Chain A
Amino acid sequence: MILAAGAPARPIVPNFGSGNRCVVENHTFCWSWVNAHWGDTLQPALSQHVELSAIAIGIGFAIAFTAGLLTYRHRWMSRPLEGFSALLYTIPSLALFQILVPFTGITTTTVEVALVAYTLVMLFPNIVAGLNSVPADALDVARAMGFTRRQTLFSVELPLALPTIVAGLRVAVVSTVSLATIAAFLLPKGLGYPIFLALKEPSPFRTEIYAAGALTVALALVADLLLVALRRFLVPWARRSAV
């Protein structure tokens, strides 16, 4: 069973099938490649990307919402938290990933912490702004009608704040989907990974770059549209769209 270097093995090298001209000559876009590799390259990357983004937005929203409510009740928190948010969001993502590595290693956690941080800084100001935009008259009416604090929150403040909150959510979702491509620098996950691989080729592989890029943009736009639909569902009385 042991083969010494002196005895050359004779493996059967199967015909892997040569790539068609389009792929070998690196034309602008090869649908054949996309079809052939949807299952093994593009679709897994897409699923990973959705997962990365969804977790970041979920956690980011939960934290931003809680912080937003707290700030709404305790106004003094607003300035420091907003200042901190503004500063956090100037940090280059590549740099932030590396700064987190000593704490959480080269893991999904590191990527998620960074993405959550960026989501937070985009959501938090909007949640606060949304809550602050509730007109005083509406609050007066609620008080006059004898609403409890909780009733006021759920029946008056949140509904009225919702358009602004959803606007912020749209920004955050689109940005997170876009940012998650950089995660591929650390982990072989998400739609950024095929792009990194394609860039490393002797001649950067156009089709893979354009396909992964198009999927990322499409994902962002679909998410945006879903949120618009959600807003219409939740706030049907708000006819004017605040982009």
Chain B
Amino acid sequence: MTLAALSLHDFLDAFRFIGSNWSLLLDKAAQQLELAGAALGIAIVVVLPLGLVLGHLRRGSTLAIAASIAGRALPVLVLIAAFLTVFGIGFVNNMVALAVLASGPILTNSYEGVARVEPRVVDAARASGMTGAGVLRQIELPLAIPLLATGVRIAAVTVVATAPIAAIAGGGGLGDIIVNQAGYGFDGVLGASLCAMALSLIAYGLLTALERAVTPAGLRRLAELEKGNRRREAVPVSVIT
């Protein structure tokens, strides 16, 4: 039997597993989305406002940049293990670890989104008598939405794709099957891996579409033009671990 034939055999078994374990896999996928959603929620609630305010004040750019570097440099395994020693086993330690991971893109992008608004626009608004808060709410925030949306999208895809590893610390999700070859056999492991990949791709597709829908058309065109002229590494690449 050639290597290709052996591999094909494995994948056929995996598909057979998927076929006969639909509900289990959906259950696990839902569990994973729940964990990812909770983590993303925390990150948005805690970090997004912080980034907006810092961007408005144009302070703390080092922090914003450091956030994205930290997000890349901190392995999720280390975060999960470290929080496990603090919070114990279960949902919380994994949620917090993933929230930390999600915070990087969100902080950086909310900061950049607001800070990059044309100073002339801000000046004009102030000149017409708007308060600081008003400027933030009515001028900077709408203009920041493209970068904000991108940041949330990156953070969301990151946590969905990273969540499987939480299974080693009791986090549940499709990872429960992937780390459990003794329980589900390799066909189960491979099947769940394929499902995790599919889930990530679906999340990516949906969120990219959502991001596009949320971005005002004019700004979208502007972004396309800028992309054509000069590609900026404005949106830090986040790591999926």
A and B touch in the complex (CB under 8 A): yes
How many of chain A's residues touch chain B, expressed as a range? 35 or more
Contact of A133 among B10, B157, B196, B230 (CB under 8 A): B230
B65 close to chain A: CB less than 8 A: yes
Interface centre among B175, B196, B233 (most CB of A within 10 A): B233
Report the minimum CB–CB distance from A81 to chain B (whole Å).
Answer: 15
B241 close to chain A: CB less than 8 A: yes
Interface contact A90-B203, CB-CB below 8 Å:
yes
Interface contact B77-A181, CB-CB below 8 Å:
yes
Report the minimum CB–CB distance from B11 to chain A (whole Å).
Answer: 7
A212 close to chain B: CB less than 8 A: yes
Main secondary structure of the interface of A (DSSP, over half): helix
Q: Which residues of A contact B6 (CB under 8 A)?
A: 102
Interface contact A94-B7, CB-CB below 8 Å:
no
Contact of B74 among A96, A102, A196, A217 (CB under 8 A): A217
Q: Which residues of B contact A206 (CB under 8 A)?
A: 85
Interface contact B78-A195, CB-CB below 8 Å:
yes
Interface contact B168-A196, CB-CB below 8 Å:
yes
A159 close to chain B: CB less than 8 A: no
A95 close to chain B: CB less than 8 A: yes
A204–B78 Cα distance when bound, in Å, is 13
Q: Which residues of A contact B178 (CB under 8 A)?
A: 94-95, 98
Q: Which of A36-44, A172-180, A231-239 contacts B (4 or more CB under 8 A)?
A: A172-180
A24–B240 Cα distance when bound, in Å, is 36
Main secondary structure of the interface of B (DSSP, over half): helix
Interface contact A179-B197, CB-CB below 8 Å:
no
Interface contact A94-B175, CB-CB below 8 Å:
yes
Report the minimum CB–CB distance from B105 to chain A (whole Å).
Answer: 12
Contact of A213 among B81, B189, B236 (CB under 8 A): B81
Interface residues of A in 89-137 (CB under 8 A from B): 89-96, 98-99, 101-103, 118, 122, 125-126, 129, 132-133
Chain B residue, CB-CB nearest to A215: B78
Interface residues of B in 183-222 (CB under 8 A from A): 186, 189-190, 192-194, 196-197, 200-201, 203-204
A192 close to chain B: CB less than 8 A: yes
B117 close to chain A: CB less than 8 A: no
Interface residues of A in 206-238 (CB under 8 A from B): 206, 209-210, 212-213, 216-217, 220-221, 224
Q: State whether A133 and B162 are in contact (beta carbons under 8 Å apart), knowing that A94-B178, A95-B196 are contacts in the complex.
A: no
Chain B residue, CB-CB nearest to A219: B73
Interface centre among A90, A212, A220 (most CB of B within 10 A): A90
| Binary contact readout B115-152 vs A (1 if CB under 8 angstroms, 0 otherwise) | 00000000000000000000000000000000000000
Interface contact A103-B3, CB-CB below 8 Å:
yes
A174–B164 Cα distance when bound, in Å, is 21
- Besides A87-B201, A91-B197, A94-B179, 13 more A-B contacts (Cβ < 8 Å) are A94-B178, A95-B194, A122-B237, A122-B239, A125-B237, A171-B237, A175-B72, A178-B72, A181-B78, A199-B81, A199-B168, A217-B78, A243-B65
The 9 residue pairs across chains A and B that have the minimum distance between CB atoms:
A213-B78, A95-B193, A175-B239, A102-B10, A129-B231, A102-B7, A220-B73, A90-B200, A98-B193
Can you sample 23 A-B contacts with CB below 8 Å? Answer: A87-B204, A89-B240, A90-B240, A91-B200, A92-B200, A93-B240, A95-B192, A98-B178, A101-B190, A102-B10, A125-B237, A133-B230, A171-B236, A175-B237, A178-B73, A178-B75, A182-B75, A182-B165, A199-B84, A204-B81, A209-B81, A220-B73, A224-B73
